[in-house]
Copies of this chain bind each other. A is one copy, B any other.
Amino acid sequence: MYELLIENIRSKVAISEAEEEQLKKYFIPKKYRKRQYLLNGGDICKYFSFVVDGLIRSFTVDDKGHEHVVQFAAEGWWVSDMGSFLEETEAMYHIEAIEDVEVLNLTKPAMEEMLNELPVMERYFRILMQKNIVTLQQRVVADHSLTAEEKYLRLMEIYPKLIHRAPQQQVASYLGITPETLSRIRKQVAEKGD
Interface residues of A (CB under 8 A from B): 60, 62, 66, 68, 70-71, 82-83, 86, 92, 115, 119, 122-123, 125-126, 129-130, 132-134, 136-141, 143-145, 173, 176
Contact = CB atoms under 8 A, between A and B. Distances in A.
Given A66-B145, A123-B115, A145-B66, A140 B129 contact: no
A39 to B, nearest CB: 14
A48 to B, nearest CB: 10
A110 to B, nearest CB: 16
Q: How many copies does the complex hold?
A: 2
Contacts of A126: 122, 125-126, 129
A90 B143 CA distance: 22
A138 B70 CA distance: 9
A144 B86 CA distance: 25
9 contacts: A60-B141, A62-B145, A71-B137, A83-B134, A86-B130, A86-B134, A115-B123, A122-B126, A129-B130
A137 B86 CA distance: 15
Nearest to A116: B123
A167 to B, nearest CB: 17
A112 to B, nearest CB: 10
Contacts of A122: 119, 122-123, 126
A144 B82 contact: no
